Amino acid sequence: MHDSVTVHMDAPPDAVWALVSDVTRIGSFSPETFEAEWLDGAPGPAVGVKFRGHVKRNGVGPTYWTTCWVTACEPGREFAFTVGAPDKALNTWGYTIEEAADGGSEVTESFRLADKAALRVYWALLGWARGRTNREGMRTTLERIKAEVERDAP
C-alpha cells in the first residue's frame, strides 16, 4: 500500500525543494490536484501547518477539497504531508531530495496508505488500478517539476 518514483533533475536540491514545498504551485505539476491553498493564515510550509487541495480524482472526477497537514519540512531534503489529520490520516505523500554527484538532485515522490482494514480491502481489490494511476501521476508530477526547475536552473 505504498510506492514511489524517482527522477534525476539537473538542479540543486534547494531549488527543487522550493517547488515541491509550495503547495500553491501544485496545479502546475499534478495531474489530479489542480490547486491548493495554505490555511489558517500560514505563509508557507512548516511542520503542523494545514493546507487544502482541490482534487479531480483520476483527472476526471469526482472533484473535492481535502485538508492536509505538513508532517516533514526540511529545506533542501524533505517535504511530506498527510491527507487528513496526522492521527487519522488516510494517506501520506512525500518528496525526498538527495544531492547527486553531478550537482543535480535525485527526487523521489512517494505515497503510503494508512494501515486500516478498509484501506487494505480497497487495495486488495482495486490497488492494481490505483497503484498504476499513482505511479503515472507521480512520474508526471516529477517530470513537470523537472522541466520547470531545469529551465530556471543557473
Per-residue confidence in pLDDT tens, the chain, 154 aa: 899 999 999 999 999 999 999 999 999 999 999 999 999 999 999 999 999 999 988 777 789 999 999 999 999 999 999 999 989 999 999 999 999 999 899 999 999 988 888 888 888 888 778 788 889 999 999 999 999 999 977 6
Instruction: State the amino acid at position 70 in one-letter form.
Output: V
CA angle 4, 93, 40 (to 5 degrees): 165
**Backbone φ and ψ of 25, nearest 5°:** -100, -5
Residue range of the domain that includes 69: 2-152
Domain harbouring 70, CATH code? 3.30.530.20
Neighbours of 38 (CB within 10 A): 18
User: What is this structure's pTM?
Assistant: 0.92
Q: Give the count of domains, the chain.
A: 1
DSSP label at residue 54: E
Helix (H) or strand (E) holding 63: strand 63-74
Which DSSP letter does residue 44 get?
S
